[in-house]
Structure formats: structure tokens, C-alpha cells
Amino acid sequence: MTDRPEGIFPLGEENVAYAKYFTGTSYLCPLSKEQVFIANVTFEPGCRNFWHIHHAQEGGGQILLVTQGRGWYQEWGKPARALKAGDVVNIPAGVRHWHGAASDSWFAHLAVEVPAVGGHTEWCEPVTPEQYAEAEHEDR
């Protein structure tokens, strides 16, 4: 693994609270808890979160603002999308998806939680090695 390049936001602490929903090591640095929750999430190379869904009765979803490195975003049943610094991903409530780092790059994004009525996250199964390899292959 390569050394982590310096990011524009702090790395934060190892994300032990949600480690059971990740393959690999991630770091979490909450930036705002007022009005809208925003956190810097950093993934070591190859790290990704499990498939998950942001549920809401009204509003909700998530916005990812990529700040560093290369990574992936994939919605269930669709091809993976390669991500780089400057990319924005709007994830509506109710969409099953995952995101994480490329195998050879650190990756960081700001995670913006869209305010929701009855909002919660449903964590599903891990992204399989085959699914991850397919995402990596699609970029070649």
C-alpha cells in the first residue's frame, strides 16, 4: 500500500464504530453536526463499505463530494462508476449501493446526509471480491 497523501480535511479516527460494515480500514472525521451531518470519510486502498440503503419516509439520501484519490460508486444492478477528486454523487433515498477506494489508491469523500423524516441506514451484505474485481475491470 502507498502512503496516504495529505488531504484537505483531517483524516480523523479509525472508523471502529462502523468497521463491521466495511471491508478494509476506513477513517471518519465528523465536520458538522449542525443542521446537516457532514463527515470526511477516508478509505485505505481496496477498502469499501457493504451494500447499503439510506431509507426515509420523506427526504433523505446522501451526497458524496470526492476530495482525494480514486474510488468507486455502484448502484445495485448497474455498472460501477469510477470516481476522482471533484466528482459529486447524489444518492436518492431507497437506492441500494456501495462506495469505496480503488485497489491501488487512497480515497476520500465528504458524506453529506440529506435531512430525512424517519431516516435510517440498512446495512446489507459485503461487496463480494468478484463484484469488486468487476468494478476494477470496468475501468481498464
Q: What are the pLDDT digits (tens) for 27-38?
A: 999 999 888 999
Strand ranges for 44-140 from DSSP E: 48-49, 52-55, 58-59, 62-75, 81-84, 88-91, 97-101, 107-113, 116-117, 120-123
pLDDT of 1 higher than 50? no
Listed by start position, the domains of the chain span 13-138
- The CATH H-level (homologous superfamily) assignment of domain 13-138 is Jelly Rolls (2.60.120.10)
In tens, the pLDDT along 49-94 reads 999 999 999 999 999 999 999 999 999 999 999 999 999 999 999 9
- When pLDDT is cut at 50, 70 and 90, the band that residue 108 belongs to is very high
Q: What is the pLDDT of residue 22?
A: 99
pTM of the model: 0.93
DSSP state of 25: -
Q: 7 or 25, which is more confident?
A: 25
